[in-house]
A and B are shown apart, each in its own frame.
Chain A
Amino acid sequence: MPRRNDIAKILVIGSGPIVIGQSAEFDYSGTQACKALKAEGYEVVLVNSNPASIMTDPDVADRTYIEPLTPTYVEEILRVEAEMLKASGKPGVFAVLPTVGGQTALNLAVDLADAGVLDAIGVELIGAKLEAIKKAEDRLLFKDAMNKIGLDMPKSMLVNNLRDGLEFAAKLGFPVVIRPSFTLGGSGGGIAYNREELMEILSRGLDLSPVHECLLEESVLGWKEYELEVVRDLKDNVVIICSIENFDPMGVHTGDSITVAPAQTLTDREYQCMRDAAIAVIREIGVETGGSNVQFAVNPQNGRMTVIEMNPRVSRSSALASKATGFPIAKIAARLAVGYTLDELQNDITKATPACFEPTIDYVVVKIPKWQFEKFPGADETLGPQMKSVGEVMAIGRTFKEALMKAVRSLETGKKGSGDSIEPRRLRQRLVTPSPERLAYLRYAFDEGMSVRDVARLTGMDPWFLHQMKTIAEELKAVESVSGEIDEHAMRSAKRMGLSDERLAVALKIDEKDAAAKVRALREKLGVKPVFKLVDTCAAEFESLTPYMYSCYDEEDEAAPTAKKKVIILGSGPNRIGQGIEFDYCCCHAAFALRDDGYETIMVNCNPETVSTDYDTSDRLYFEPLTLEDVLAVYEHEASGGAEIGMIVQFGGQTPLNLALPLKAAGVPIIGTSPESIDLAEDRKRFGKLITELEIPQPPGAMATSVDEALSGARRVEYPVLVRPSYVLGGRAMVIAYDDADVVRYMSTAIEYSQERPVLIDHFLEDAQEVDVDALCDGKDVLIAGIMQHIEEAGIHSGDSSCVLPAVDLTPEVLETIRVYTRKLALALNVIGLVNLQFAVQRGKVFVIEVNPRASRTVPYVSKATGIQLAKVASRLMTGQTLRELLPEQVAAGKDLGTGELYFVKSPVFPWGKFQGVDPVLGPEMRSTGEVMGVALTFGEAFAKAQIAAGLYLPTKGTVFFSVNDHDKKNVAELARKFVDMGFQLVATYGTAEALEDGGLQVERVYKVKEGRPNAVDFIKGDRIQLVVNTPRGQDRVFDEQAIRRAAVLARVPTITTLAAAKAAAEGIAALQRGDVHVESLQELHAARNGD
Chain B
Amino acid sequence: MQFGMDSEGEFMQAILALEDGRLFRGKSYGAQVERVGEVVFNTSLTGYQEIFTDPSYAGQIVVLTNPHIGNYGTSPSDAESVKPFIEGLVVREFSPVSSNWRSTEVADEYLERNGVPVIGEIDTRAVVRHLRANGCLRGVLSTDVSDPAALVAKARAHKTMAGTDLASIVTTKEAYTWDATEAKNQTGDKFLPADDAAAASPLNATMHVVAYDYGIKQNILRMLARENCRVTVVPAKTPAADVLAMEPDGIFFSNGPGDPEPLEYAVENIRALQGKKPLFGICLGHQLFGLALGGKTYKLKFGHHGGNHPIKNLETGKVEITAQNHNFNVDPDSLPADVVRTHTNLNDDTLAGLKHKTDPMFSVQYHPEASPGPHDSHYLFRDFRKMMEDWKK
Give chain A's interface residues, CB within 8 Å of chain B: 149-151, 235-237, 239-240, 243, 262-277, 279-280, 300-303, 341-343, 353-354, 356-364, 398-400, 452, 462-464, 467, 533, 538-543, 554-556, 558
Contact = CB atoms under 8 A, between A and B. Distances in A.
A8 to B, nearest CB: 27
18 contacts: A150-B191, A235-B318, A262-B66, A272-B372, A272-B373, A275-B375, A276-B193, A280-B191, A300-B101, A303-B101, A358-B307, A362-B67, A538-B308, A539-B43, A539-B65, A539-B306, A540-B129, A554-B92
Contact of A268 (B46, B309, B312): B46
Interface stretch (B30-38, B117-125, B159-167, B273-281): B117-125
A722 to B, nearest CB: 51
B97 A540 contact: no
B299 to A, nearest CB: 17
B45 interface: yes
Contact of B372 (A264, A268, A464): A268
A267 B75 contact: yes
B259 interface: no
A266 B46 contact: yes
* Among all A-B residue pairs, the 5 with the closest Cβ atoms: A268-B47, A268-B372, A556-B126, A539-B65, A555-B123
Given A398-B67, A556-B126, A357 B309 contact: yes
Nearest to B321: A358
Given A267-B46, A357-B309, A463-B99, A272 B374 contact: yes
B245 interface: no
Contacts of A556: 123, 125-126, 129
Contact of A272 (B43, B308, B375): B375
Given A301-B101, A362-B65, A239 B312 contact: no
Given A267-B75, A467-B97, A357 B310 contact: yes
Given A268-B373, A272-B374, 9 more contacts: A268-B47, A268-B50, A303-B102, A353-B347, A463-B99, A464-B72, A538-B308, A540-B125, A556-B125
Contacts of B45: 243, 262-263, 271, 360-361
A235 B189 CA distance: 25
Contacts of B43: 360, 362, 538-539, 541
Most B Cβ at <10 Å: residue of A279, A399, A540 = A540
Contacts of A359: 308
Given A262-B45, A343-B346, A364-B67, A239 B125 contact: no
A464 B373 CA distance: 23
B359 to A, nearest CB: 30
A499 B361 CA distance: 58
B47 A267 contact: yes
A151 B78 contact: no
Contact of B128 (A235, A268, A541): A541
B46 A302 contact: no
A647 to B, nearest CB: 28
A276 B97 contact: no
A264 B73 CA distance: 12
Contacts of A341: 319
Given A268-B47, A269-B188, A272-B189, A543 B97 contact: no
Interface in B8-57: 24, 41, 43-47, 49-50
A363 B67 contact: yes
Given A398-B92, A533-B125, A538-B43, A343 B97 contact: no
B125 A273 contact: no
A266 B72 contact: yes
B319 A264 contact: no
Most B Cβ at <10 Å: residue of A150, A271, A359, A364 = A271
B329 to A, nearest CB: 16
Most A Cβ at <10 Å: residue of B78, B190, B309, B319 = B319
B100 interface: yes
A11 to B, nearest CB: 30
A235 B132 contact: no
B202 interface: no
Contacts of A467: 95-97, 99
Contacts of B67: 362-364, 398-399
B321 A343 contact: no
Given A276-B375, A277-B191, A357-B309, A539 B128 contact: yes
Interface residues of B, number: 63
Contacts of B140: none
B68 interface: yes
A151 B190 CA distance: 10
B371 interface: yes
B347 A354 contact: yes
Nearest to B46: A268
Contacts of B194: 149-150
B71 interface: yes
Interface string B152-195: 00000000000000000000000000000000000111111110
Contact of A237 (B71, B98, B319, B370): B319
Contacts of B331: none
Contacts of A274: 191
A357 B308 contact: yes
A542 B96 CA distance: 31
Given A358-B308, A467-B97, A540-B65, A265 B71 contact: yes
Contact of B46 (A271, A279, A399, A540): A271
A554 B126 CA distance: 9
B109 interface: no
Contacts of B306: 360, 539, 541
Contacts of B68: 264, 364, 399-400
A277 B194 CA distance: 11
B318 to A, nearest CB: 6
A463 B72 CA distance: 10
B319 A356 contact: yes
B319 A342 contact: yes
Contacts of B65: 360, 362, 539-541
Most A Cβ at <10 Å: residue of B78, B97, B189, B193 = B97
Contacts of B318: 235-237
Given A363-B67, A398-B67, A556-B125, A239 B321 contact: yes
A274 B192 CA distance: 10
A273 B372 CA distance: 12
Nearest to A543: B132
A271 B308 CA distance: 14
B161 to A, nearest CB: 20
A243 B308 CA distance: 13
A263 B45 CA distance: 9
A543 B131 CA distance: 12
B93 interface: yes
A463 B96 CA distance: 12
A265 B73 CA distance: 9
Contacts of B72: 265-267, 464
A769 B100 CA distance: 63
A105 B101 CA distance: 41
A276 B310 contact: no
Most A Cβ at <10 Å: residue of B47, B98, B100, B373 = B100
Contacts of B375: 272, 275-276
Contacts of B319: 235, 237, 341-343, 356
Contacts of B191: 150-151, 273-274, 276-277, 280
Contacts of B47: 267-268
Interface string B84-122: 000000001101111111100000000000000000001
Nearest to A275: B374
B193 A464 contact: no
Contacts of B124: 362
Contacts of B125: 362, 398, 533, 539-540, 554, 556, 558
A558 B129 contact: yes
Contacts of A364: 67-68
Nearest to B45: A262
A539 B126 CA distance: 11
Nearest to B347: A353
